[in-house]
Chains A and B, each alone.
Chain A
Amino acid sequence: MNHPSGVPSLRRRGGVAVPWLALAATAIGCASVSPERGHDQVAALVAQRTGHKTRWEKGPPDAEAIARWVRMLTAAGLTGDRVVEIALVNNPDLQSVYEELGVSQADMVQAGLLRNPSFGADLGFRVRSGENSELRLSLVQDFLDLFVLPQRKQIAQQQFEADTLRVADRALETATEAEKDFLAAQAAVELVAFRRTVVAASEGAFALAQRQFDAGNISELERATQQPTHEQAALDLARDEMSLLEARERINRRLGLWGETTSWAFADTLPPLPAVDPAVDQLEMFALQRRLDVAVARRQAALLAKAVELARSTRLLGRLEVGVDAHQDPNGPRVIGPNLVIELPLFDQRQAVIARLEAQKRQQERHLLAVSIDARSEVRVASARVRVSRQAVLRYRDGLLPLRQTVLQQTLLQYNGMLAGLYQLLAAKQGEADARRGYLESLRDYWSARADLARAVGGSLPEGGHHHEP
């Protein structure tokens, strides 16, 4: 397995779990890092929207335990649900994304720490005899932190929450992609099966043409005209088989599979068209309320607003150093006394920093608007695609496919009466296989469109739906 590198290990085992809201309320929070903080939140968001566990709610699970679990699931054969479950736990990219929570949490802890005091020592050695050496000691603490710490912690806290949402969003994205990959692979398996039928049919025509030629019944021209169809069909089959292999490999990559676990089998086929499509009323508002990328953008905008506020409120606060000096005059008594250094904000009053932050805040607001507009459009496109692909499935299922089957049955009857020949019969068979392929592709597209729609509205579709069929 790949391990994300370069991430400092800040975790300490056995850290106390701090409730999410309590954390936000604490002015000077715990100065330690806990492995599950953030993960439980991500797990809750993912479970609520996909119905699957990330298994990271207690922090990164034990690698060996995961490997065992993945072996068990793949050995049982893959289903749409299992694929999502494995992807959430074992997708390598997603695992490195989960680790971002650790990074973000470390930043948050860092923001809550006071700057360490500095200790200084001056030592004066005599140059001439008769003079004394001098020692001066100082302990200085920068107290600016004390004023800004609560605000700084709040900002870091919000940044952490935004990161949590971003990670959850990536998890949802991974789940959707895994689901779509599996649909494509399920379709690819059956497409290959139908293509094999076509190849078998063309093989029959090929053989018959050869036998007719051997019997002297057709010219070489006719034989050569009849036979290339088979070669073409065989080439098409090879292409379809390659597509299936690629579809399986996409799943292997998505699920982080290698070695023996790549020999998984399909445990179910594409589900038939459901009677109900998701309800599409108010779907745009629903999406804006639930989409995590919108939530992240919203939070980032709020966060920058707070940062601008902080910069404004501390613009006249320069460095403030309070310390203790202790020094011993050579001939005098030891003196110990306070020492104060105040930065005078004459030139730098944070105006540049503030301007920069304000620009960033406006930028983030624009970004929020763009994300929202995109989200609305994505919802409209995805729901249209669900509707249109349902129509395509119905047209294949209730129209084209039954017609092709009728053509095949009737051609068979005509063949029985020697009114049609084998070539015509095989052409009818090929027509039926092509219609089956079309039906399967449209069914795949339908489920894929549904997965896209669920993703577009933030992970899961609202309850209830539109009945399209009696």
Chain B
Amino acid sequence: MSHERKSITAATDGETCVLSRRALLLAGATGGALAAASPARGAAATIAASPERAPSPGRAVRDYLPVTVPNGAKLPWKLVGGVKVFHLVAGEVDHEMAPGLKALCWGYNGRVHGPLIEAVEGDRVRIYVTNRLPAATTVHWHAILTPNGMDGVGGLTQKAIQPGETFKYEFTLRQWGTAMYHSHHDEMTQIGLGMTGLFVIHPRRPQRPVDRDFAIMLHEWRIDPGARRPNPNEMVEFNVLTMNARAFPGTAPLVVRTGQRVRVRIGNLSPMDHHPIHLHGHQFRVTETDGGPVAESAQWPETTVLVPTGSTRTIEFVAHEPGDWAMHCHMTHHVMNQMGHGTPNLIGVQPGNLDQQMEAVVPGYMTMGQTGMADMADMGMAVPANSIPMLGGKGKHDVITMGGMFTVLKVRDGIRGYGDPGWYDGPAGDTARAAVADDLRRDGIDAERPAPVEDQSPTG
């Protein structure tokens, strides 16, 4: 990406880059080699021992461009003696995945997923965790370098937080990038019910300033149509796939002005699946993982980034082309909403008189699915309570036959605000439409003739 500004660090190794910067920032390194060998403990000890030499807590706008969380929320904080104090409250949440589908999930502070925690490299954070769940829990600061006792692994590094208890986590952020937090106690149940969140740490000095900085957490759920609670026992057949816990058509668009530099941080704590997230109309580079920044020389151009479960990937690009650009997981079943995976395959089936035959047995029966699922967007038929069609959202031209992990990047010229600008109204000549007879004649296209094809011979 020629538009990319060059990173300040010339180091090719992300880890080294982080360490050298930390060494620089944190009041005199005790020696590069030592810092490299055991960065965390030395640095943390230094800060704890001499708080006056710690950097002042980072502030939005002054120190960083705040992250935008479509459909999401952020965790507020207050300063107490130079420490950013946060309060996470784990509890049950009645959450709407999309209009028409609500589910009783487990989350934090009344949200699913938990509110995004935003801080700055060098900040000392103190995070209280109150457990209002019926089960014990812990919080693990995924990909954040903490003292071992703050790592939040139930049984291994701490006692689990019993229902009604409040625990205190406290550590200094000695890195920057996109990390996450999640329950590390009975993960199958608790992550399966939604107990995850993003944890964005801005660099003390902006590395590659952007104009828009989005954060999206991916997740997958099993919610049977008509049920009200996700089933965390599901291992394979997930049927609700979400971005920031919303399934299309419930996803809010990402709105940017043409020409802006855009960063999208994507975290994945889906129970079982990795997600190849594909962006239309742009090429991007993967600039960070949850392990830190990727050296520019190591960045690949991509249009699809695979976000493994338990990872974050940060992509950056310049939004040069106005329009409504789809951004979605490329696994076809991940852009469907609740559907029956066990229904009979009816593609190409001739129903004949089956409908009349069935009238006596099931009045109003109609054979469906002979041509696929696209007609299912909304047939206006009665469906189970608390369920959404497997696909379909209103689009400018027609029904958008997508669902699940699907959202739209809306790039517009000269917009002043970032509210939803509506559908893109492009130049008429640049929109595919039915071919007219004149064009067909001019180009010698006969739709009735056998379709042209060139078979290959051994000589090519």
- B369 contacts A by Cβ under 8 Å: yes
Which of A207, A412, A419 is close to B362, meaning CB atoms less than 8 Å apart? A412
Task: Indicate if the CB atoms of B358 and A414 lie closer than 8 Å.
Answer: no
Distance from A414 Cβ to chain B, minimum over Cβ atoms (Å): 6
A202–B360 alpha-carbon span in the complex (Å): 12
Q: List A contacts of B367 (CB < 8 A).
A: 422
- B156 contacts A by Cβ under 8 Å: no
Question: Which residue of the partner chain B has the closest CB to A433?
Answer: B361
Q: List B contacts of A410 (CB < 8 A).
A: 226, 384
Q: For the side of the interface on A, what is the size category?
A: 20 to 34
- B241 contacts A by Cβ under 8 Å: no
A420–B384 alpha-carbon span in the complex (Å): 11
- A118 contacts B by Cβ under 8 Å: no
A413–B349 alpha-carbon span in the complex (Å): 22
Task: Indicate if the CB atoms of B362 and A217 lie closer than 8 Å.
Answer: no
Task: Indicate if the CB atoms of B340 and A414 lie closer than 8 Å.
Answer: yes
Question: Which residue of the partner chain A has the closest CB to B384?
Answer: A413
A410–B226 alpha-carbon span in the complex (Å): 9
Task: Indicate if the CB atoms of B225 and A197 lie closer than 8 Å.
Answer: no
Task: Indicate if the CB atoms of B343 and A421 lie closer than 8 Å.
Answer: yes
A16-47: CB near B (< 8 Å → 1, else 0) gives 00000000000000000000000000000000
Task: Indicate if the CB atoms of A216 and B348 lie closer than 8 Å.
Answer: yes
- B345 contacts A by Cβ under 8 Å: yes
Task: Indicate if the CB atoms of B361 and A413 lie closer than 8 Å.
Answer: no
- Residues A416 and B344 in contact in the complex (CB < 8 Å), given A197-B361, A208-B354: no
A415-429: CB near B (< 8 Å → 1, else 0) gives 011111111111001
Task: Indicate if the CB atoms of B340 and A421 lie closer than 8 Å.
Answer: yes
Q: How many residues of B contact A (CB 8 A)?
A: 36
- B297 contacts A by Cβ under 8 Å: no
Q: List A contacts of B225 (CB < 8 A).
A: 414, 417, 419
Q: Is the interface of A mostly helix, strand, loop or mixed?
A: helix
Task: Indicate if the CB atoms of A217 and B342 lie closer than 8 Å.
Answer: no
A119–B344 alpha-carbon span in the complex (Å): 105
Task: Indicate if the CB atoms of A423 and B344 lie closer than 8 Å.
Answer: yes
Most chain A CB within a 10 A radius of its CB, from B350, B369, B383, B390? B383
Q: Is the interface of B mostly helix, strand, loop or mixed?
A: loop
- B37 contacts A by Cβ under 8 Å: no
Q: List A contacts of B338 (CB < 8 A).
A: 417, 419
Most chain B CB within a 10 A radius of its CB, from A413, A418, A426, A429? A418
A208–B354 alpha-carbon span in the complex (Å): 8
Task: Indicate if the CB atoms of A217 and B357 lie closer than 8 Å.
Answer: no
- B379 contacts A by Cβ under 8 Å: yes
Q: List B contacts of A211 (CB < 8 A).
A: 349-352, 354
- Residues A217 and B389 in contact in the complex (CB < 8 Å), given A208-B354, A412-B362, A425-B362: no
- Residues A418 and B362 in contact in the complex (CB < 8 Å), given A204-B357, A212-B345: no
Which of B340, B357, B387 is close to A203, meaning CB atoms less than 8 Å apart? B357
Most chain B CB within a 10 A radius of its CB, from A207, A214, A419? A419
- Residues A417 and B354 in contact in the complex (CB < 8 Å), given A201-B361, A217-B349, A422-B344: no
Question: Which residue of the partner chain A has the closest CB to B347?
Answer: A217
Task: Indicate if the CB atoms of A417 and B387 lie closer than 8 Å.
Answer: yes
A217–B365 alpha-carbon span in the complex (Å): 21
Task: Indicate if the CB atoms of A418 and B368 lie closer than 8 Å.
Answer: yes
Task: Indicate if the CB atoms of B361 and A416 lie closer than 8 Å.
Answer: no
Question: Which residue of the partner chain A has the closest CB to B343?
Answer: A421
- Residues A419 and B348 in contact in the complex (CB < 8 Å), given A204-B357, A204-B358, A208-B354: no
A167-211: CB near B (< 8 Å → 1, else 0) gives 000000000000000000000000000000100110110011001
Q: List B contacts of A215 (CB < 8 A).
A: 346-350
- B437 contacts A by Cβ under 8 Å: no
Question: Which residue of the partner chain A has the closest CB to B375?
Answer: A418
Task: Indicate if the CB atoms of A420 and B361 lie closer than 8 Å.
Answer: no
Which of A204, A216, A424, A429 is close to B354, meaning CB atoms less than 8 Å apart? A204
Q: List B contacts of A417 (CB < 8 A).
A: 225, 338, 340, 376, 381, 383-384, 387, 389-390
- B294 contacts A by Cβ under 8 Å: no
Most chain A CB within a 10 A radius of its CB, from B339, B368, B384, B389? B384
- Residues A414 and B345 in contact in the complex (CB < 8 Å), given A211-B350, A215-B350, A429-B362: no
A429–B359 alpha-carbon span in the complex (Å): 12
Task: Indicate if the CB atoms of A212 and B346 lie closer than 8 Å.
Answer: yes
Q: List A contacts of B346 (CB < 8 A).
A: 212, 215, 217
- A384 contacts B by Cβ under 8 Å: no
Chain A, range 320-338, C-beta contacts under 8 Å to B: none
- B382 contacts A by Cβ under 8 Å: yes
- A355 contacts B by Cβ under 8 Å: no
Question: Which residue of the partner chain A has the closest CB to B354?
Answer: A207
Q: List A contacts of B362 (CB < 8 A).
A: 412, 425-426, 429
A343–B382 alpha-carbon span in the complex (Å): 104
Task: Indicate if the CB atoms of B383 and A416 lie closer than 8 Å.
Answer: yes
Distance from A201 Cβ to chain B, minimum over Cβ atoms (Å): 5
- B373 contacts A by Cβ under 8 Å: yes
Most chain A CB within a 10 A radius of its CB, from B338, B343, B387? B343
Which of A204, A214, A218, A418 is close to B361, meaning CB atoms less than 8 Å apart? A204
Distance from B223 Cβ to chain A, minimum over Cβ atoms (Å): 12
Q: List 23 A-B contacts (CB under 8 A).
A: A197-B361, A200-B361, A203-B357, A207-B352, A211-B350, A211-B354, A212-B345, A212-B349, A214-B350, A217-B344, A413-B226, A413-B382, A414-B384, A416-B382, A417-B383, A417-B384, A418-B376, A419-B225, A419-B343, A419-B390, A421-B342, A423-B344, A424-B343
Q: List 12 other contacts, CB 8 Å, given A207-B357, A414-B384.
A: A204-B361, A208-B349, A212-B345, A218-B345, A416-B383, A418-B368, A419-B383, A421-B342, A422-B367, A425-B365, A426-B361, A426-B362
5 smallest beta-carbon distances between A and B, as pairs:
A416-B381, A419-B340, A421-B343, A417-B383, A215-B348
